[in-house]
Amino acid sequence: MYREFKHLHLPSVDAEIRQFWEDERIFEKSVEQRPTENSFVFYEGPPSANGKPGIHHVMARTVKDLFCRYNTLKGFRVDRKGGWDTHGLPIELQVEKELGITKEDIGKKVTVEEYNQACRSTVMRYKDLWDDITRRMGYWVDLDDPYITFKNEYIESCWWVLQQLYNKKTTSGESFLYKGFTIQPYSPAAGTGLSTHELNMPGCYKEVTDFSTVAMFKVRREDASAKFFDADDEDLRILAWTTTPWTLPSNVALTVGPNIEYAKIKTVSPYTGAHVSVILAKDRVSAYFNADDENNVLSTFTVGDKKLPYSVAQSSIKGSELVGLRYEQLMPTPAATTPELEAKGFRVISGDFVTTEDGTGVVHTAPYFGADDFRASKAAGIPFIGIPNPKNPELPFPLVDKQGKFVEEVPEFGGRYVKAEYYSKEVTSDKEFKPTDLLISLRLKEDNKAFKIEKYKHNYPHCWRTDKPVLYYPLDSWFIRASAARERMSELNKTINWKPASTGTGRFGQWLDNLQDWNLSRSRYWGVPLPVWRTEDGEEEVCIGSVESLRSEITKANTALGLSQTLADDLHRPYIDEVILVSASGKPMRRELDLIDVWFDSGSMPYAQWHYPFENQEVFKNNFPANFIAEGVDQTRGWFYTLHAIAAMVFDSVAFKNVVSNGLVLDKEGNKMSKSKGNVVDPFETIAEYGADATRWYMMANANPWDNLKFDTGGIIEVRNKLFGTLFNTYNFFALYANLDGFKMDEFKVLPYNNRTELDRWIISKLYSLVADYREAMDDYDVTRACRAIEEFVDEHLSNWFVRLSRRRFWKGELNDDKTAAYQTLFECLMVTSQLMSSVAPFFSDWLYRNLTAPIKDVAKAKNTPLRHDSIHLSDLIVPDASKIDKDLEKRMAYAQRICSLALSIRKKEKLRVRLPLQKILLPVLDAAFIAEVEGVKDLILSEINVKQIEYITDATGLLKKGAKANFKTLGAKLGKDMKDAAALIANFSNSDINELEQSGWLKILIHGTEYTITPEDLVISTEDLPGWKVASDGELTVALDIHMTPELLAEGTARDLVNRIQNIRKDKDFNVTDRVTVTLERHNAILAAVEQFHDYIKAEVLATDLVLADEVEGEKVELDDVVKVGIEVSVN
Partner RNA sequence: AGGGCUAUAGCUCAGUUGGUUAGAGCGCUACACUGAUAAUGUAGAGGUCUCCAGUUCAAAUCUGGAUAGCCCUACCA
The catalytic residue positions are 46, 85, 599, 635, 639, 672, 675
Interface pick for RNA out of 20, 205, 651, 1097 (rule CB under 7 A) = 205
Interface pick for RNA out of 25, 378, 488, 913 (rule CB under 7 A) = 913
Query: How many CB atoms are closer than 10 A to CB 787?
Result: 28
Which is nearer to RNA, 156 or 437 (by Cβ)?
437
Q: Where are the alpha helices (DSSP H) in 463-546?
A: 486-493, 501-502, 509-513
Asked if 994 touches RNA (CB under 7 A), the answer is: no
Interface pick for RNA out of 277, 732, 825, 1038 (rule CB under 7 A) = 732
Q: Interface residues for RNA in 177-196 (CB under 7 A)?
A: 183, 185, 196
Interface pick for RNA out of 48, 164, 244, 833 (rule CB under 7 A) = 244
Q: Are 629 and 504 in contact (CB under 8 A)?
A: no
What is the rounded distance in angstroms from the CA atom of residue 239 to the CA atom of residue 360?
Answer: 6
From the list 248, 239, 290, the residue with the least C-alpha distance to 269 is 239
Task: Report the C-alpha dihedral over residues 440, 446, 452, 453, rounded to 10 degrees.
Answer: 40
Which is nearer to RNA, 359 or 855 (by Cβ)?
359
Q: Which stretch binds RNA (CB under 7 A): 3-11, 34-42, 167-175, 821-829?
A: 3-11
Asked if 504 touches RNA (CB under 7 A), the answer is: no
Asked if 502 touches RNA (CB under 7 A), the answer is: yes
Q: Interface residues for RNA in 323-342 (CB under 7 A)?
A: none
257 Cβ contact partners less than 8 Å away, ≥ 6 residues apart: 281, 319, 350, 351, 352, 354, 355, 356, 361
CB of 715 to RNA, least distance (A): 6
Q: Interface residues for RNA in 1097-1126 (CB under 7 A)?
A: 1101-1103
CB of 907 to RNA, least distance (A): 7
Interface pick for RNA out of 38, 200, 316, 949 (rule CB under 7 A) = 200
Query: How buried is residue 909: exposed, middle or buried, by Cβ count under 10 Å (0-12/13-18/19+)?
Result: exposed
Length of the chain: 1133
Please give, one letter per residue, the 3-state secondary structure of 822-890: HHHHHHHHHHHHHHHHCCCCHHHHHHHHHHHHHHHHHHHHHHCCHHHCCCHHHCCCCCCCHHHCCHHHH
Asked if 458 touches RNA (CB under 7 A), the answer is: yes
Please give, one letter per residue, the 3-state secondary structure of 45-64: CCCCCCCCCCHHHHHHHHHH
Q: Interface residues for RNA in 802-861 (CB under 7 A)?
A: 803-804, 807, 811
From the list 276, 246, 501, 254, the residue with the least C-alpha distance to 373 is 254
Q: Are 203 and 464 in contact (CB under 8 A)?
A: yes
Give the rounded distance of the alpha carbon of 904 from its chain centre: 44
Q: Which stretch binds RNA (CB under 7 A): 608-616, 719-727, 741-749, 935-943?
A: 719-727
Quick check: helix, strand or coil at residue 270? coil
What is the rounded distance in angstroms from the CA atom of residue 590 to the CA atom of residue 552?
Answer: 16
What is the rounded distance in angstroms from the CA atom of residue 571 to the CA atom of residue 230?
Answer: 70
Asked if 795 touches RNA (CB under 7 A), the answer is: yes
Which is nearer to RNA, 119 or 764 (by Cβ)?
764
CB of 965 to RNA, least distance (A): 3
What is the rounded distance in angstroms from the CA atom of residue 849 to the CA atom of residue 872?
Answer: 6
Asked if 354 touches RNA (CB under 7 A), the answer is: yes
CB of 298 to RNA, least distance (A): 27
Asked if 507 touches RNA (CB under 7 A), the answer is: yes
Q: Which stretch binds RNA (CB under 7 A): 577-585, 732-740, 878-886, 919-927?
A: 732-740
Q: Interface residues for RNA in 1010-1039 (CB under 7 A)?
A: 1020, 1032, 1035
Q: Where are the alpha helices (DSSP H) in 459-593?
A: 486-493, 501-502, 509-513, 547-561
What is the rounded distance in angstroms from the CA atom of residue 79 to the CA atom of residue 65?
Answer: 12
Asked if 438 touches RNA (CB under 7 A), the answer is: no
CB of 704 to RNA, least distance (A): 5
Interface pick for RNA out of 19, 290, 800, 1000 (rule CB under 7 A) = 800
CB of 703 to RNA, least distance (A): 4
Cross-strand bridge partners of residue 1032: 1039
Q: Which stretch binds RNA (CB under 7 A): 301-309, 321-329, 363-371, 413-421?
A: 363-371
CB of 829 to RNA, least distance (A): 12
CB of 929 to RNA, least distance (A): 19
Interface pick for RNA out of 718, 782, 1025, 1042 (rule CB under 7 A) = 718
CB of 1046 to RNA, least distance (A): 19
CB of 297 to RNA, least distance (A): 32
Q: Are 934 and 894 in contact (CB under 8 A)?
A: no
Q: Which stretch binds RNA (CB under 7 A): 442-450, 500-508, 950-958, 989-997?
A: 500-508
Interface pick for RNA out of 225, 296, 497, 905 (rule CB under 7 A) = 905
What is the rounded distance in angstroms from the CA atom of residue 171 to the CA atom of residue 490?
Answer: 18
From the list 398, 374, 653, 649, the residue with the least C-alpha distance to 518 is 649
Number of residues that bind RNA (CB under 7 A): 118
Interface pick for RNA out of 490, 497, 784, 1015 (rule CB under 7 A) = 784
724: phi then psi, degrees, rounded to nearest 5: -70, -40
DSSP string, 83-117: EE---SHHHHHHHHHHHT--GGGBTTTB-HHHHHH
Quick check: helix, strand or coil at residue 715? helix
Q: Interface residues for RNA in 249-288 (CB under 7 A)?
A: 255
Q: Which stretch binds RNA (CB under 7 A): 458-466, 534-542, 577-585, 1124-1132?
A: 458-466
Which is nearer to RNA, 902 or 1003 (by Cβ)?
902
What is the rounded distance in angstroms from the CA atom of residue 208 to the CA atom of residue 460?
Answer: 7
Reading across the β-sheet that carries 581-582, which strands appear in turn?
541-543, 532-535, 588-591, 581-582
Asked if 510 touches RNA (CB under 7 A), the answer is: yes
Asked if 866 touches RNA (CB under 7 A), the answer is: no
Q: Which stretch binds RNA (CB under 7 A): 452-460, 557-565, 841-849, 864-872?
A: 452-460
Asked if 687 touches RNA (CB under 7 A), the answer is: no
CB of 441 to RNA, least distance (A): 13
Q: Interface residues for RNA in 514-543 (CB under 7 A)?
A: none
211: phi then psi, degrees, rounded to nearest 5: -80, 125
Angle at 785 between CA 783 and CA 791, to 5 degrees: 100
Interface pick for RNA out of 299, 316, 459, 555 (rule CB under 7 A) = 459
Q: Interface residues for RNA in 945-974 (CB under 7 A)?
A: 965-969, 972-973
Which is nearer to RNA, 544 or 831 (by Cβ)?
831
What is the rounded distance in angstroms from the CA atom of residue 173 to the CA atom of residue 915?
Answer: 89
Q: Interface residues for RNA in 597-656 (CB under 7 A)?
A: 633-634, 636-638
Please compute, for residue 659, the number of CA atoms within 13 A of its CA located in the half-sphere on the CB side.
32
Interface pick for RNA out of 99, 914, 1043, 1124 (rule CB under 7 A) = 914
What is the rounded distance in angstroms from the CA atom of residue 1110 to the CA atom of residue 1092?
Answer: 14
CB of 792 to RNA, least distance (A): 8
The CA–CA distances, whole Å, from 652 to 351, 507, 643, 646, 655 equal 33, 22, 12, 9, 9
From the list 492, 873, 516, the residue with the least C-alpha distance to 659 is 492
Interface pick for RNA out of 338, 739, 1063, 1078 (rule CB under 7 A) = 1063
Q: Interface residues for RNA in 693-712 (CB under 7 A)?
A: 702-704, 707-710, 712
Which is nearer to RNA, 133 or 783 (by Cβ)?
783
